[in-house]
Structure 1
Amino acid sequence: MTTRKKDLRAYLKDHLLVGDGAMATQLHGVGVPVGVSFEELCLSNPRLVHEVHTSYYQAGARFLETNTYSANRDALSRYGLEHKVARINRLAVAIAREAAQDDAYVAGSIGSILAGRVKKKVLDEYRDQYEEQAIALLHAGVDGLILETFVDLEELLLAIEVIRPLTDVPVIAQLATLEVGRTRDGYALTDAFSELKAAGADVIGLNCRLGPAELLRSFENTMIPEDALLSVFPNAGRLGMTDGEYAFKSSPEYFGQSALRLREQGVRLIGGCCGTTPAHVKAIADALESLEPQARVNPTIVAGDRPSITVQNTREREKPSIVERVKTATTIIVEFDPPRDLDADQFLHGCCELHKAGADAITLADNSLATVRMSNMALGALMKSRHGIDPLLHIACRDRNLIGQQSHLMGLHALGIDQILVITGDPSRFGDLPGASSVFDVTSFDLIRMVKQLNEGVSFSGRPLKQKAQFIVGAAFNPNVRNMDAAVARLEKKVEAGADYIMTQPVYDAESIRNVYEATKHIGIPVFIGIMPLTSSRNAEFLHNEVPGIKLSTEALERMKKVQGEAARQEGIAIAKELVDTAVRYFNGIYLITPFNYYEMAAELIQYTRQQSSLVRMAQT
């Protein structure tokens, strides 16, 4: 029988300890709906929380976690409860302590604030929140703190750095891996566990995300620091659909068998996470009854056994990228929109004409203005394979979740398409399918970072890849704003995230071109200045008044009002040529946008840009 008078660290050196199971699973099972704060129940329905603790205690758990996993300021603010952090945490300890009676440990649960989301803030901003929650739990008299479900080692190390100086009670640090053996931020568990122990964690382990078999495999293939105490709280297998409802598959009997295997790996503290119930905990307790812990024996790892995130490129780039070209010569990117129907032949013909006119790359939007068009990935593959034309594909954050985004990028890599432009994307409700969902799992900043992670040979989930991608990543810049300083600050963040080049929205006067140059000349990566010829007065008024990110000069609007028909197109080309005259004096990168797929207009501007840039270079030499 456990006695709380003995320090948890000392107890685990000589004993096995059974932990509890999932709190949320039990609360949901008795009717608490998803979408509410389970932690708030410590205030509004403490008896219900007490009953869950008691059910686990009666099943054999002698290590109970407080109902405070998300009782931090960030999570509670979603329910207007951010001012009740201390109160909820203190009450949660009292509820668990009453259920624990005199022979079970009570550990204060502190969950990841990032909670599996894409990192959008500087992690250092979480310091105060970890301190606030930890102090409340410590003052309430917990026997230890359990930091759990951290998918990123860096966040868990930050939490330990904040909490360790506050107390000498045991600190349990548990990672939640998305892939067997590696954290989302790319650390092998061998390295992660070593850093956690060095940072001051008393017990190190794994919980959540994966079931017993995968967590067992993680321990089997990891070097554990000498004398480290180990914990594990697996999910009840993988979440799946059964009889029309989501459910976890692992049975209590299987959990009992798994507990024995985990004991063989030297694990001392064994409980359950998502999907586990008192029946699972009873199976663990029954399996481990009267057994002593086993000493940890690390696997024999020889050179090459451990996966490395440092891999070699296995494919040479066929041609210099636009970033390489623009360093020494004027480089022209031409945008040509994919068709809105099923006929690709006319589009490919236009691409060939633009290529013959001298375009260095043809860029294809990703359902611009949220209007459905043919897949730019499919068209890019046809351009490259049939005609040897370099595609540059836009990738919007709007249409794909993170699973789809990584799959899409992996497909582009397989096709040898590695020049992309990452954009946010226009909201779906303003497109031609207004009932469609806008995904926006990540911002353009986040996606740029994640693409560059693929270039390091690491997947979005932290899994090492056998090859490095070679993506050249562009970012968009809108200079047609009132506050240029704010726009440039946003652009600088994209550069910091890893952008290799910039493409601007179209500008319509020489002064704007000069302003863009002055505002961006310090950023250190190529800028492709956007120029789009006008086709009519109505087109000019539409762009100026209705299309986000575009603003025409008064002069351009007045000039287009005076002409019609073919004369209007010629005037639009004339205005664009005047802009080219200025642009080539300031920029090596020119981004021509084809209006209404009138590729003849763009082809004429390509040839004119080549001519004018040559004259400027000759004059400079």
Structure 2
Amino acid sequence: MSFDLREMTGSGVLIGDGAMGTLLAERGVGFGHPYARANVTHPEMVAGIHEEYIRAGAGVIETNTFSANRFKLEVHELEDRVREVNEAGARLARKAADIAGTNGSKALVLGAIGPLGRPLCPVGPVTEAEARAVFLEQAEALLEGGADALVLETFTDLVELRLAHEAVRGLGVPIVAYKTFVEDGETLSEGLPGRAAREISALGVDLSGSNCTVGPQRMVGIIEGMSAEVGPVAAFPNPGLPQLVDGKVRFRRDVDHFALYGRKLAEAGARLVGGCCGTTPEHVKALADALRDFRPGTTPNRGVSVRTVEEEKPQEVLDGPSTDLAEKLRTGFAVAVEVDLPRGNDITRVVEASRRLKERGVDAIDISDGARARLRMHPVAAARIVQEEVGIEVVAHISCRDRNIIGLQADFLGAAALGVKNILAVTGDPTQIGDYPEATGVFDTDSAGLVHILSRMNRGEDLAGNSIGGPAGFLIGSAFNPTAEDLDGEIEKLRRKIGAGAHAFWTQPVFEIGALEVALERLGDLDPCLLLGLMPLRSARQAEFLHHEVPGVDIPKPVREKLATLSPEDAPKYGVEVAQNILAKAQPLVNGAYIMPPASAPDLAGEVIEAISTQRSAVG
């Protein structure tokens, strides 16, 4: 079918269909069963729902393929049936659409493509090339099955939406693209819908719009913002917020309210209006009745702006860190010392140790995030206490293990509000080695993804592009292991973290200067800001354990053998001496030192940094 979608939406309002998944669930296809698989297991039911929407007044229907990409089908071991499921979905919609609707014309079929279901690099593992391939595979199958056009829907991330469009734009069919917005009046008032509409339209899509998440009342504000920037748009709201009833998701069925605001959506600039999750043929019929006599008014020709969100950001949203530690790293040699948190809620000893270390010239205190998966106070809370009581900046380690993407971002917002601006992003140790081995590790992302999120917040926005009120000013740290067995792989990780926005790197402990020199030489064109990790050893037993049983730690044999000959009193002194010697030699090569003393003896760090003053005296 050949048609001009822009022309059709410019002369009137097209009625779209409603939800497919929630109806399939109500009719027995759902829990534990991917909705898209119903295209091959329950074809009569899928076709019947399409026909119900057409009889209700829909002139545009979407295929039952929103979650039918390779990644999402793989969860159900259906990755080898991507083409079959999508072709079947398009054929069923095509067959229903060829039956004349209530207005005597055939309905248009939009091949539905949703987000990948896996995060993109650097937050997740999916590369841009892989993403395009997955989107293209699905789109080609939909067109082979008979779809008239493609709809890229329910995207929260405009970067992912751009990749989807890049993958399918060469297929020669109209493309519709929708962003979904959280129900957040403050965000909407800051102009995000308009900015998103400009960015989507600048891709060259035939129609932009919004779907899902919010109800019809809130959707009116979104559509007003989008239409004001790019002219006619599409609107597919939910009927309202869902609730959990007897373990099942339920939506309200007030079709009159939906129809009332459906007309308001048209008045706000929507020229394709339908429903998303929770809507039914009854909602669509009420909508079609409400819009039967609607005629669009005169709309000024606004054109399509090609400015992107990034281009319009003011200069004060640049991502430079605003901490004293960052300044010290830029202009001098910074020293950070890790102080272990005890169990429980009393960190008096941490505060006292931090005060003594400050007096000895330390610039910052490091507090880990449940290292070795052991239960400890949240590092941001501890950091706030130390900063307030001691007057020294703290580096809060934040791991990906215990919190999902929402929780991690909430932690960062809290850290910024509390003045904890130095963050070390780490992936985190697995729960199996800690206090609660049966606990669930989250790992929505890895350390590079965490760096990316922090960098976005330094630009004044969260991962979804919503404003956080201003740039966070974080110093973004990450880890680097100069003694890694696979040094090339470790350097590639470092390169990826730099690309994601890392400012500085805390290294794993180094016990011989030669290992550091080799790593620096292998870095090639990279010139990262490094804080050299130093661990004053206290015994031969500790050295053997670290070397043989802790990943990423390599202690030279001569050091281990020397420790074995020393008394319990002399071994710690030798450990300090080794760290001092490395620090003295490494000082011209790095930007700072990161000292990890034994939990029971944090003051050993103060003895290690005496090498810095000795080195300065020698130079003087």
The alignment's TM-score, normalised by the length of structure 1, stands at 0.89
3-state SS in 2 of match to 1:524? coil
- Any idea what SS the aligned residue of 2:569 has? helix
d(CA) in 1 for partners of 2:438, 2:414: 28
TM superposition shift of 1:7: 5.8
Aligned to 2:107: 105
Match of 1:207 among 208, 211, 216: 211
* Paired residues of 1:15 and 1:292 also in contact (CA < 8 A): yes
Matching residue's letter, 2:611: T
Once the two structures are TM-superposed, the CA of residue 370 in structure 1 deviates from its matched residue by: 0.7
Is the contact between residue 238 and residue 279 of structure 2 (CA under 8 Å) also seen in structure 1?
Answer: yes
Q: Which moved more, 1:461-470 or 1:286-295?
A: 286-295
The C-alpha deviation readout for 1:268-319, integer Å capped at 9, x for no partner, is 22111112222322321232234334444799xxxxxx997537479x9986
Q: Which moved more, 1:286-295 or 1:173-182?
A: 173-182
Q: What is the aligned-residue RMSD (CA, Å)? A: 3.1
1:477 aligned residue: 480
CA distance in 1, matches of 2:144, 2:151: 15
Cα offset, 1:368, TM superposition: 0.5
How far does residue 424 in structure 1 lie from its aligned partner after superposition?
A: 0.4
Q: Are 1:269 and 2:266 matched, yes or no? A: no
Tell me the secondary structure at the aligned position of residue 351 of structure 2: helix
For 2:612, the equivalent position in structure 1 comes to: 610
Counterparts of 1:329 and 1:93, CA distance in 2: 63
> Using a 3 Å threshold, how does the CA distance of structure 1 residues 464 and 319 change in structure 2: closer, same or farther?
closer
User: Residues 231-280 of structure 1, C-alpha deviation per residue, up to 9 Å, x if partnerless?
Assistant: 21112323344566543346322211111111211322211111222232
More deviation, 35-44/462-471: 35-44
Q: How does 1:142-181 map to 2 (within 5 A)?
A: 142-167=147-172, 169-178=173-182
AA partner of residue 102 (structure 1): A
SS in 2 for 1:138: helix
Report the alpha carbon displacement of residue 346 of structure 1 after superposing the two structures with TM: 1.5
Indicate the SS of the match to 2:18: coil
Are 1:281 and 2:284 counterparts?
A: yes
Distance in structure 2 (CA, Å) of the matches to 1:130 and 1:577: 55
CA contact (8 A) 2:90 2:111 kept: no
SS in 1 for 2:17: coil
2:414 maps to 1:416: no
For 2:339, the equivalent position in structure 1 comes to 336
SS in 1 for 2:478: strand
CA contact (8 A) 1:309 1:464 kept: no
Judged with a 3 Å threshold, the aligned counterparts in structure 2 of structure 1 residues 263 and 117 are, in CA distance, closer, same or farther, namely same
Moved more, 460-469 or 6-15: 6-15
Per the alignment, residue 33 of structure 1 pairs with: 30
User: For 1:313 and 1:287, how far apart are their aligned partners in 2?
Assistant: 45
Match of 2:16 among 16, 19, 27: 19
Residue correspondence of structure 1 range 546-561 to structure 2 within 5 A: 546-561=549-564
Partners of 2:7 and 2:612 in 1: CA distance: 77
Q: 1:583 to 1:198 in 2, by over 3 A?
A: closer
1:497 aligned residue (485, 497, 500): 500
Which residue pairs with 1:126 in the alignment? 131
CA deviations on 1:409-430 (whole Å, 9 max, x unpaired) are 1222122221111100101121
| TM superposition shift of 1:181 | 9.2
Unaligned runs of 5+ in 2: 303-308
Q: Name the structure 1 match of 2:306.
A: none
Structure 1 counterpart of 2:224, from 210, 220, 225: 220
Deviation larger for 113-122 or 58-67: 113-122
Cα distance in 1, alignment partners of residues 71 and 374 from structure 2: 36
Q: Which amino acid aligns with 1:130?
A: F
Give the whole-Å Cα distance in 2 for the aligned partners of 1:309 and 1:250. 42
Once the 2 structures are TM-superposed, how far is the Cα of residue 118 of structure 1 from its aligned partner? 5.2
Between the aligned partners of 2:187 and 2:416, the Cα distance in structure 1 is: 24
Q: Name the CA shift for 1:24/1:311 in 2 (closer, same or farther; >3 Å).
A: farther
Aligned residue runs from structure 1 range 483-562, under 5 A: 483-520=486-523, 522-562=525-565
Q: Which moved more, 1:76-85 or 1:326-335?
A: 76-85
Does residue 396 (structure 1) correspond to residue 396 (structure 2)? The answer is no
Cα distance change on mapping 1:616 and 1:254 into 2, 3 Å:
farther
Give the corresponding residue for 1:451: 454
- 1: CA distance between counterparts of 2:483 and 2:59? 63
- Once residues 223 and 245 of structure 2 are traced to their aligned partners in structure 1, the CA distance between those partners, rounded to angstroms, is 30
Task: Specify the alignment match of 1:586 in structure 2.
Answer: 589
Moved more, 517-526 or 557-566: 517-526
1:61 and 2:58 correspond: yes
Distance 1:515 1:36, change over 3 A: farther
499-508 or 262-271: bigger deviation? 262-271
SS in 2 for 1:539: helix
Q: Which residue of 2 aligns with 1:193?
A: 197
Residue by residue over 1:180-226, the C-alpha shift from the partner in whole angstroms, topping out at 9 and shown as x without a partner, is 69999x99433443454454322221111222122210122345456
Q: Aligned equivalents of 1:140 and 1:588: distance in 2?
A: 60
Q: What SS does structure 2 have at the residue aligned with 1:599?
A: coil
Shift of 1:522: 3.9
Give the conservation status (yes or no) of the 8 Å contact 1:457–1:468.
Answer: yes
Name the CA shift for 1:107/1:317 in 2 (closer, same or farther; >3 Å).
closer
Note the residue ranges of structure 1 that are not aligned, 5 or more in a row.
300-305
Given that residues 239 and 246 in structure 1 are in contact (C-alpha distance below 8 angstroms), is that contact kept between their aligned partners in structure 2? yes
> What SS is found at the alignment partner of 2:208?
strand
CA-to-partner distance for each residue in 1:29-84, whole Å, 9 max, x for gaps?
A: 22223443322222222122122223323333232211122333333344443343
Contact residue 18 and residue 63 of structure 1 kept, 8 A: yes
For 2:8 and 2:577, locate their aligned partners in 1 and report how far apart those are by CA, in whole Å: 84
Structure 2 CA distance for aligned equivalents of residues 5 and 311 of structure 1? 46
The aligned amino acid for 1:138 is: L
Mapped pair 1:253 → 2:256: yes
Q: Tell me, yes or no, if the aligned pair for 1:157 and 1:199 is still in contact at 8 Å.
A: yes
Give secondary structure in 1 for the equivalent of 2:603: helix
How far apart, CA to CA, are the structure 1 residues paired with 2:252 and 2:538?
A: 61
How is 1:437-448 mapped onto 2 (pairs within 5 angstroms)?
437-448=440-451
Answer whether contact 2:334 2:593 (CA < 8 A) is retained: yes
Quote the sequence identity (%).
35
**1:503–1:519: structure 2 CA closer, same or farther, 3 Å change rule?**
farther
TM-score by length of 2: 0.89
CA 1:487–1:76: 2 relative to 1, 3 Å: same
Closer/same/farther in 2, CA of residues 50 and 499 from structure 1, 3 Å limit = same
For 2:408 and 2:195, the matched residues in 1 are separated by 29
- The answer to whether residue 144 in structure 2 is matched with residue 139 in structure 1 is yes
Which of 92, 106, 113 is the aligned partner of 1:95? 92
Rounded Cα–Cα distance in structure 1 between residues aligned with 2:482 and 2:322: 33
Amino acid at match of 1:584: Q
Indicate the residue corresponding to 2:242 in structure 1: 239
Residue deviations 1:306-363 (CA, integer Å, cap 9, x gap): 997537479x998632x43234433211111111133221221111111111111111
State the secondary structure of the residue aligned to 1:109: strand
* Shift of residue 532, structure 1, vs aligned partner: 0.5
Q: CA deviation at 1:161?
A: 4.1
* Number of residue pairs matched by the alignment: 604
Deviates most, 13-22 or 453-462: 13-22
